[in-house]
Amino acid sequence: MLGCWEAALGAAVSVPVFLFVAAPYIRRYVAGGRCARVIIACRDTAKAEAAANEIRAETGNQQVIVKKLDLADTKSIREFAERFLAGHFLLTFLLLEHLKQSAPARIVNVSSLAHHGGRIRFHDLHGEKSYNRGLAYCHSKLANVLFTRELARRLQGKFQRQICPGLLYFAVGTKVTANALHPGSVSSELVRHSFVMTWLWKIFSFFLKTPCEGAQTSIYCAVAEELESVTGQYFRYFSILMSMEILDLKELKEYFSYSDCQPAYVSSQGRDDETAKKLWSVSCELLGIQWD
């Protein structure tokens, strides 16, 4: 089970790449009146510090802090949580009470369209009997979606349904929301360990989103006011003209695309509440924690 979560986090959080492309937007949020205290949690602290320095220099806000965090290492997660006192199962568990106290708060998990090809194989969660890295990626992305779905249910207790069953929910309860997203196919270092995929990435690079475009949905889900009470959803990238009312970047309006961050179709496996509950229970058992 841990192997499943570790694969999910290692693949989902390409933090160094995200930091550099998101830095311009973080700068504007910090400088635009939000007065945010930004914690950059990253396994590569050198790259994180470079991005933090850029943000501090342009905004004058010194509350941009770098913390070391390797989401594939449970020891690193626990050390980060201890020093800090954001979604991986264990990290979310360790910081949840702090999130509740800080409500309204948001948990945003980066999943993928690849979750459609995933299955939760309870008989072989670690992939010890049969392992394929491509399928492991799909399985882990499905785990992201199921975790988000069950987490949202547990945080809110009750949902008010909107539009049609299973499509859009509004939070009632803790005011801590949890959503997942597909950022699109992004030209990043994700395929760096596969020669074939690296080759294909280069051939079809024209069809890939830039890291800047790939960061849009994550940023939107984290800060958009209209999503404050939306929870338990899976969003994907729909490219439209950037909404400057949200990012307040009028000077860039003609040059960037933005995501309208609409709820997207989730596979039948990703909508299986019984599987989500069982995966939650098994995760707690393997981590040696109680999370009711």
> Given the structure tokens 């949905």, which residue do they identify?
217
Tokens of 109: 């998990």
Beta-bridge partners for 131: none
Among all residues, which ones are annotated catalytic? 137
Burial class (CB in 10 A: 0-12, 13-18, 19+), 271: middle
At residue 198, what are phi and psi to the nearest 5 degrees? -60, -40
